[in-house]
Amino acid sequence: MILHSYWRSGAAYRVRIALNLKGLTYDQQGHDLRTGAQKDAAYVALNPQGMVPALQVDGAVLTQSPAILEWLEETHPEPPLMPSSPVGRAHVRAMAALIACDIHPLNNLRVGKALRDMFGADQAAVDAWAARWITPGFTALETLVAQHGADWSFGDTPTLADCCVIPQIYSARRFNVPLDAFPRLLAIDERAAAHPAFATAHPDRQPDAD
C-alpha cells in the first residue's frame, strides 16, 4: 500500500489511524499542499481531484477518506472499527460524517487560503471562522458521545468515529479553538495519545513533517 498524504491533512490523518488500528503496513508519499504539489500532473493522473489522501493498493487508487475507511473495514474486518448492529453502525457513521462532511471541509487549508486571498482575512479571522464551525459541531458531538460512548466515541473500543474525531481535535487546537466545554472529547483525545495506533499517526511523527 502507498498512502499519498500531507502530514497535517486531517483527512490523511484519519486514514493513517485506521491503517494503524488494522495493523497494516504501508509506505507514504507526501505532497506539500502549501506549495500545490498535489496538483502535479503525475499525481493528478492518479487522483483527478488533486487532493489527499489517496491509497494505492492492488492496482487500484482509492480516494476520499470516508470511502477509504469503509474499504479498509470491508477488506480487513479485524479488528472491527464498526459496531456489530446496524443501528450502532449508523450512529458511528453519523459521528464520522458530522466531522468529515460538516466541520472539516470548512476549515481545511484551501478554505483558509481562499479566506486570505479573496477576503484579506488575517490569522485571527481565520481562527474565528474555524471556531464558527468547529464549536457547534463539537457541541453536538459531545452530546452524542455522552449517549453512545464509553472509553471511546462509541462504546469501549476505537471506531471509525474516533479516526475522525482525533484529527479534528488536532485541527481545533491549531486554530486556537477553546475546548474546555468538551470534556468527553478531551478524555478520548487523552486516551488516543497513549494508544500506539493513534500516536504513530500523529502529524508530527510523519516523514514529511516540518
Q: Is residue 45 situated within a structural domain?
A: yes
Helix, strand or coil for residue 62? Answer: strand
* pLDDT of 13: 98
Give the dihedral sign, CA 145/149/154/158. positive
Question: Which one of 44, 78, 112 terminates a domain?
Answer: 78
| pLDDT range class, residue 169, cuts 50, 70, 90 | very high
How does pLDDT run across 147-159, given as a tens digit for each residue?
999 999 999 999 9
Task: Report the C-alpha gap between 111 and 55 in whole angstroms.
Answer: 23
Number of domains, the chain: 2
Q: Is residue 29 situated within a structural domain?
A: yes
Nearest CA among 52, 41, 65, 45 for reference residue 6: 52
| pLDDT range class, residue 80, cuts 50, 70, 90 | very high
The domain in which residue 112 lies consists of 86-198
* pLDDT of 20: 98
Same domain, 193 and 103: yes
Task: Report the C-alpha gap between 62 and 67 in whole angstroms.
Answer: 8
Same domain, 72 and 125: no
The arithmetic mean of pLDDT across residues 79-90, rounded, is 98
How does pLDDT run across 115-131, given as a tens digit for each residue?
999 999 999 999 999 99
pTM equals 0.96
Helical ranges in 22-85 per DSSP H:
41-46, 65-75
Tell me the CATH number at 90. 1.20.1050.10
Integer CA distances (angstroms), 197 to 26, 165, 175, 194, 209, in order:
13, 14, 24, 9, 18
How does pLDDT run across 24-79, given as a tens digit for each residue?
999 999 999 999 999 999 999 999 999 999 999 999 999 999 999 999 999 999 99
Question: With contact defined as beta carbons under 8 Å apart, do 18 and 167 qualify?
Answer: no
How does pLDDT run across 4-39, given as a tens digit for each residue?
999 999 999 999 999 999 999 999 999 999 999 999
Same domain, 101 and 142: yes
Q: Is residue 209 situated within a structural domain?
A: no
Question: Which one of 25, 60, 78 terminates a domain?
Answer: 78
Regarding beta strands 2-5 and 27-30, do their DSSP bridges make them parallel or antiparallel, or are they unpaired? parallel
Determine phi and psi for 5, rounding to 5 degrees: -150, 180
Question: Which one of 43, 78, 113 terminates a domain?
Answer: 78
Same domain, 129 and 59: no
* pLDDT of 11: 97
Q: Is residue 194 situated within a structural domain?
A: yes
* pLDDT of 156: 96
Cα–chain center distance at 176: 18
| pLDDT range class, residue 199, cuts 50, 70, 90 | very high
Helix, strand or coil for residue 30? Answer: strand
Task: Report the C-alpha gap between 210 and 208 in whole angstroms.
Answer: 7
